[in-house]
Amino acid sequence: MTPKRVSVGRRESEHPRPRLGLVERAAGATIGAGSLFQDRYEIVCVLGQGGFGTVYQARQVATGQLVAIKVLQTGLVGEHDRRVARFEREIRLCARLHHPNIVRLVDSGTTAERLLYTVFEFVPGENLADVLAREGALDPREARHLMLQVLDALSCAHAQGVVHRDIKPANIMVVPTGARRNAMVLDFGIGALVDAITGSRVNRTAATKDAVCTPGYAAPEQIQAMRPTARSDLYAWGLVFLECLTGEPVITGGSLQECLFKQMSRAPVPIPRPLWGHPLGELLREATLKDVRQRNVDAEGLFWRLQACDVNELEREDFIEPVAGRAQPPTTLPMRAEVRGSGVRLVPSARSPEAERRQLTALCHGLTALGPGPEAIDIEEVEELISLEQASCADVVRRHHGRFAGSLGEEVLSYFGCDTTPEDGALRACRAAQEILSRVRSQSAWLSAKRGIRLEVRIGLHTGLVGTRDIGGPAHALGTTPGIAARLSALAVPDTIVLSSTTARLLGGHFALVCGGTLPVEGQGRLVEVFLLRGEPVNG
């Protein structure tokens, strides 16, 4: 039977089965004011457009109720029964969410053109992102009121097993419904919708315009190869609360990479000085812990703790003092040894760690699974299998003193040489690569015998001089080095280790290498000479 390839970030079917993929469609090409959508909704106007598609205001013909229709730009080609069924299950869960602070899901489905859509009740007002852009920091009492309502909504959803996946100011409506404004959470179910049509895991979409999660609010585990949980929603909620108090996003950067680096670092989320020693500060610190294992909080517990927090003594002005007067978070200066007489002391180094350039070896590996076909293989089971195998590979990296840098889909990036010489870093990277390859082959043989599933791994290594940011957690390298390693991994045939010539030169005869010729690497103005790593180390 023709094999079915399944990976964390995408699914591919080979002939003769029809390929499950995506086709770009111009959502809205035949939808305009006055037109009838799905024979049930009269389109009133376009409310907005984004990476995922177009939002329309419409009127339900049967009731006259105003609704918001979200039509995605991508549709399914060759719908997969399992994926569609999974989407329908999650949407049914979201449709059961009845809470005064959750915008209600009214309808969902697929058009004749195979465009997926959802229909929500229309809520007048503006989203929290627009409110903060116009008003700046909110009064702490107002921020507490709105964030209590968001917490109550999350508590309702989490109790029914529904995770939002993309809590951010733009997904929280601020509604004037009486003497004071109230919050309503938008887009429960949209994460399930995007997952269903792309077949993507969360970490793969984090860097695309069709993001299920937003990098500035995504919990570290969402950026890694993990599924989001209720704790992921609460991490994002904590960042939104801090933004309400200060008027400024907590995680910012000049690029997507910089945002991801800040989220993945071990540096704690900064708590504003007025909250130091305050119960609200401790609550927000616990909600925004980077390590999901330490972030031992739940929505209901946070709700009652926030309910008990007295914020009457906190003033808006305390959070928005001029930049020059703001208390800066404690900084650990780089230190160097200085000989004084017969002793040695540590003194501040003039060299900034952010300006340091170091030669690192980047190891990028991609893991995929091959099965007997879509009827005989459970996609969710294989996703879980690959996720567990990636975790085992991460353990291998740590044993060889490498540092996890991040993942995107099935690709995982690690660095070697952060705390040692370039030669030693390259040796450790190659030993880790061989152990990963050996482990995947062994696991593949076992799975092939038991389940008819075969694992494949592709590994690329490249050594280069990069600017580094090493703050005690994952190593963050800036430059072309990680990109070249990733491209070598993508060009490698299954179950091979491909090295660039710069890495090969550092090995000093420790490994048996075979010249692989030159390969064109996208983004480089020249051909890159590559080598294949074969067999066991020559010298230990």
456-495 tens-digit pLDDT: 899 999 988 766 554 344 444 556 788 888 888 888 888 8
Active-site positions? 166
The domain that holds 251 is classified in CATH as 1.10.510.10
Instruction: Please list the ranges in the chain whose pLDDT falls under 50.
Output: 1-29, 75-80, 196-211, 322-355, 374-375, 470-476, 538-540
- With the C-alpha atoms ordered 396, 400, 405, 408, is the resulting torsion angle positive or negative? negative
Q: Which tokens hold the place of 138?
A: 């909110």
Residue 69 backbone phi and psi in degrees, to 5: -105, 125
Which tokens belong to 253? Answer: 């950067």
List, as one string, the DSSP characters of 43-85.
EEEEEEEETTEEEEEEEETTT--EEEEEEEEEEEES--HHHHH
Q: Tell whether 440 and 528 lie within a shared domain.
A: yes
Residues 157 and 302 in one domain: yes
Domain boundary among 278, 312, 346: 312
| d(C-alpha 134, C-alpha 35), whole Å | 34
Query: What CATH number is attached to the domain comprising 488?
Result: 3.30.70.1230
Q: Are both 150 and 24 inside the same structural domain? A: no
Total number of domains constituting the chain: 3
Residues making up the annotated binding site are 70
pLDDT (0 to 100) of residue 376: 53
320-351 residue pLDDT tens: 854 434 444 433 334 444 444 444 344 444 44
Q: What is the pLDDT of residue 228?
A: 79
Choosing from 75, 94, 121, the residue where a domain stops is: 121
What SS3 state is found at 395? Answer: helix
Q: Assess whether 280 and 262 both reside in one domain.
A: yes
* CA 144/CA 304 separation, integer angstroms: 12
**Residue 322 to residue 105: CA distance in whole angstroms:** 43
Do 413 and 308 fall within a single domain? no
- Average pLDDT, whole number, for the chain? 76
Residue of 426, 405, 420, 402 lying closest to 497 (CA atoms) = 426
Residue 138 located in a structural domain = yes
Does the predicted model carry a pTM greater than 0.85? Answer: no
* Residues 66 and 8 grouped into a single domain: yes
Range of 137's domain? 126-312
Question: What is the structure's pLDDT at 165?
Answer: 87
Same domain, 116 and 131: no
Cα gap 234→153, rounded to integer Å: 12
CB atoms within 10 A of CB 393: 24
Binding-site residue positions for ATP: 70
- The pLDDT of residue 449: 84
One-letter amino acid for residue 108 of the chain: S
Three-class DSSP category at 249: coil
Q: What is the pLDDT of residue 366?
A: 87
CA–CA dist 297, 291 (Å, integer): 12
Residue 187: strand, helix, or coil: coil
Place of tokens 């990476």: 51
C-alpha of 254 from chain center: 18
Distance CA 53, CA 376 (A): 34
What's the CA dihedral at 332, 282, 297, 238 to 10 degrees? -80
**In this structure, are 366 and 499 located in the same domain?**
yes
161 within a domain of the structure (yes/no): yes
pLDDT at residue 50 in the model: 63
pLDDT of residue 447: 83
